[in-house]
Every structure is written in structure tokens, then in C-alpha cells.
Amino acid sequence: MDLPRDGGERRRHRGAGRRLAVAGGAAAGLALLTAVLVPARDSLSLASIVLIYLTAVVIVAATGGLLLALAAAVASDVLVNFFFVPPFHTLTVENRDLVITLAVYVAVATTVSVAVDLAARQRAAAARSGVEAALLARITEAPLEERPLKAVLEHVRDTFGMSGAALLESDADGEHPVAVVGQPPSADPALSASAGEHLRLVADGPEVFAADQRFLTLLATAAARALQAERLATQAARTRELTEIDRLRAALLAAVGHDLRTPLAGIKASVSVLREPDLQLTEAQQTELLAGVDASADKMSDLVENLLALSRLQAGALSVHPRATALDEITAAALLHTPAPPGRVLDVDVPDDLPPAWADPGLLERVVANLLTNALQAGPPDQPVHLHARQEAHLVHLKVIDHGPGIPAEERERTFAPFQRLDDHTTHQGLGLGLAIARGFTEAMNGTLTPTDTPGGGLTMTLTLPVAP
């Protein structure tokens, strides 16, 4: 990873500039104070003047730190000696008491500067400890899975006033960022702390004086745990996905085992009878056996087609080619593909003047055929199945209505899962793929498939598609 090399140099320049600015302000303040006091030295005692300068040194200690305060104490002592101790404008002191006064002033100024700096450091440490405790409490009180890594890095950036923070991971190719907040990491970060094996927390921004390395290490540990939680969550999601795949495979094997054996057994039995030379079959009997072979082959073809469609849906490899599609033509084609059993009544009301739907004709025919098959299986033989289509604004609706037992509201979503049917106790009615494929194909065409209750009992499946532009 190529990192910028000038981050540390920029921080050093900024730190030096800040120190020069504070020192310049202190020097200017002492010079201004001297200019104000010199005209009034005849009316002020030396003790008063020394106390005024001592106050200035305390202010410098509180704002600029110990070293600058010591320099201000020495400088103010020289100024008092030069401008306020006779003989004026020299560093000579004729009176022994004045020598003691100046020496005591320097000692007191030094002591006060040390005390002020120590108190400031203690206040800053106490405030920082409070902030650290509150921050760590917010980070650690949440469960691991609820601690996003970037949130921890944002805490690091905001707490230390950095322009960017990152968690780096090292491998055979060097270090590379796992997560970054703000500016990308430089080669010479302002803050750096180990976050565990092969991990390092870094932050770029202004130079930090006397950073609390213990606190930074705690934050680095929190970042490492957040990374671990995210990776564990990813692994758990992958495990759940694999578990679901295994469940589907088990259901597939259980259901396919039955649905393949039944037509294969029928084909095998019919062909064996047809090939038996000792049997004298009439033409009607032969026709009946061949019809059974044909029906069993159709069942196997439908089964394989459903399984292929489901695999394309789950793999995200379904090809959709929408165009303006006449709903009445698609309904007629689906009825030819799924003829009603003898004696069943189909009530079809799909006007030929409906605007075309924006859909893939092949997928739409399959959806209508699957819905029709499901309605024919669910409804009683003496009740009709209705196919009604209407336009509403920029949408067309096709309703497939049966008068069967219906589906409880809490069970409806489950019926759209592969290998699920209302009873779920037997496999004699097929694999339960029809509704799963119908919804998958519909959503791939930007449509919706909604189950509702049929007035008087039964289930109404409403297929909604946009009108072709």
C-alpha cells in the first residue's frame, strides 16, 4: 500500500508553529506590561510590581506550559531588575534587600509555575479520564455484534481530533487497511497502537502531546473486537446460508425421490406390458398404456423444468427480456399448456382490449400456468376456477380465483418457499415449487403476486404487472 510520506513533517511544522505563537504572545504580553508599568513605577512599590509580574507568569503557566512559564519567570525577573530596581536600566543591584526580593521572586514564580502546570495536567487528566470512561462505556456496553468497526474508528477520530483513523492488518504483502474513517492512513501516523496479532490502530491529524497510550490501546482492542464481531457475523450468515442450502437439498431429495419414482414406475410398468410377447393386447389397451407413458413423461418434464427454474432463481442467473405482452394471448397459451381435467369449469374473463403488460412472455406464461395448476389442485372438482383481468391506472391485474380451503393469513408467506405446501405431510401433490417459482418470476419482471381470501372461501392470487410504456 502506497502511503503519503509527509504527514509527520506537516505535524511537526504545525507543532513548532503553535509553540512559536504561544512564546511570541508571552513575550509581547511581558513587553506590553512593562510599557504600562514603567510610567507608574514612582507610585508603585516594588512588591506590587513583582506581584503583577507574578500574575503574568501564572497566566503563561496556565496557557503555555511549564517551560514557557519558567522562561517568562526569568524574563520578568530581568525586566523588574532593569526597569524597576535602581539604578535603572542596568542589571546592577545596590541594595541587598532588593537582591533577596528578586531571588525570592524567581523562586516563587518557579514554584507557582510548577504548581499551576501540575494542576492543569491533573485537570486535563481527570477530564480525559472522564471522557475515556464514558467513551469506553458506550463502546463496551453494546453487544459485540452491535459494535460496527467504523463506529469505533469514528470515536477514535473524534476523541483525539484527528482527520482520519484506520485499522490496519498485516500479511505477507505488508499492511493494508481493513476499515478507514476520514482521510486514508499515512506512513507516519500521529497515533499508533497495537490492536492484537497482525492488527494496528492508526490515526492521522494534529500532533498529540503526551497521548494516553493505555487509553489508545483500549480503543485499539475495541476496534479489533469489532472487526472480529463483523467477521463472525459474516461467517454466521454464511453458515445459515449453507444450512438453508442443506435443508433445501434434503427436502429436494425427499420430494424428488417420490416424484421421480412415481412416473418412472408408471413408464416402466407400461413399457414392460407393451413388450410382453405373450400378452394379446387390444388396440384400446395399447392406446391406454401409451397414454400413461406420455402422461408420466410429461410429469417428469415438468419436474425437471421446475427444478431448473428454481436453480436459476436461487443462483440469480434468470434472464428476463421484458416487452409489450398481450395478457389474453399469454392466458390462452397457459390454458393450452395446463388443460383443465375433465368436468372442471374454467371461467376466463381476460378482455382482449387490455393494454399490454411490460413482461417477459415466456416467464409470464409460466407464472399463469403455475397459478392455474395450483388453483385446480386446491379447488373442489365441482367448483369453477376463475381467471379475471382488469386495468387499474398504470397497472394490469390478473386474478386466479379458486374456492378451495384457502390458506390462513399467517401461513401464506410460507407457501411461497420451495418444497412447502399447506399440508406439508405428504408429497403426493408434487414438490411445492409452483408458487415459489411464480413469485420469483413475477418479482424478476418487477411485478407482485399477492394472496388474499376469496369471498365465500378459497384463495385469490393477484398478479400485478406494469403497463407497457
Q: Residue 466: what pLDDT?
A: 95
Distances (CA, A) of 262 to 11, 55, 304, 432: 79, 103, 14, 16
Across 17-43, average pLDDT: 74
pLDDT number for residue 60: 75
C-alpha 255/C-alpha 261 separation (Å) is 10
pLDDT mean across residues, the chain: 77
pLDDT of residue 124: 64
User: Is the bond leading into 455 cis (omega within 30 degrees of zero)?
Assistant: no
pLDDT at 256 over 70: no
Query: What per-residue confidence (pLDDT) applies to 58?
Result: 77
Could you give the 3-state DSSP secondary structure of residue 139? Answer: helix
The residue length of the chain stands at: 469
**Would you state the pLDDT for residue 147?**
52
C-alpha span between 84 and 82 (Å, rounded):
6
Rounded average pLDDT over 55-61: 76
Report which secondary-structure segment, H or E, holds 398. Answer: strand 395-401
Residue 448 bridge partners (DSSP): 464
Q: Among 322, 319, 318, which residue's Cα sits nearest to residue 357?
A: 322
pTM exceeding the 0.85 threshold for the entire prediction: no
Higher pLDDT residue, 388 or 234? 388
240 or 15: which carries more pLDDT confidence? 240
130 vs 405: which has the higher pLDDT: 405
Greater pLDDT, 211 or 361: 361
Q: For residue 137, is pLDDT > 80?
A: no
Q: How confident is the model at residue 139 (pLDDT cuts 50, 70, 90)?
A: low
Q: For residues 368 and 441, is the Cβ–Cβ distance under 8 A? A: no
How high is the pLDDT of residue 204? 85
Count the helix, strand and coil residues of the chain and give each as a percent rounded to the nearest 5. 60, 15, 25
Confidence of residue 8 (pLDDT cuts 50, 70, 90): very low
More confident call, 112 vs 324: 324
What structural domains does the chain harbor? 7-134 (no CATH), 146-237 (no CATH), 241-315 (1.10.287.130), 323-466 (3.30.565.10)
Grid cell at residue 218:
483500549
Buried/exposed 89-119: b ≥16 CB within 10 Å, e otherwise: eeeebeeeebeebbeebbeebbebbeebbee
Q: What is the pLDDT of residue 259?
A: 62
Q: What is the pLDDT of residue 381?
A: 87
Distance CA 331, CA 341 (A): 17
Query: Using CA atoms, how far apart are residues 260 and 292, in angstroms rounded to an integer?
Result: 15
Please enumerate in sequence order all residues whose Cβ is within 8 A of that of 441, keeping only pairs 6 or more positions apart, or say none: 309, 313, 318, 360, 363, 364, 366, 367
Measure the CA–CA gap between 323 and 155, rounded to whole angstroms. 52
Most confidently predicted of 15-24, 104-113, 309-318: 104-113
In 38-148, where does DSSP find H-type helix? 46-64, 66-84, 96-141
> What is the per-residue pLDDT for 402?
93
Q: Which of 409, 400, 325 is nearest to 370 (CA)?
A: 400
The answer to whether the beta carbons of residues 330 and 364 sit under 8 Å apart is yes
Helix 96-141 to helix 66-84 angle (10° resolution) is 160
CA 20 – CA 371 distance, rounded (Å): 82
- Alpha carbons 183 and 82: distance in angstroms, whole number: 53
Residue 465 pLDDT greater than 90, yes or no: yes
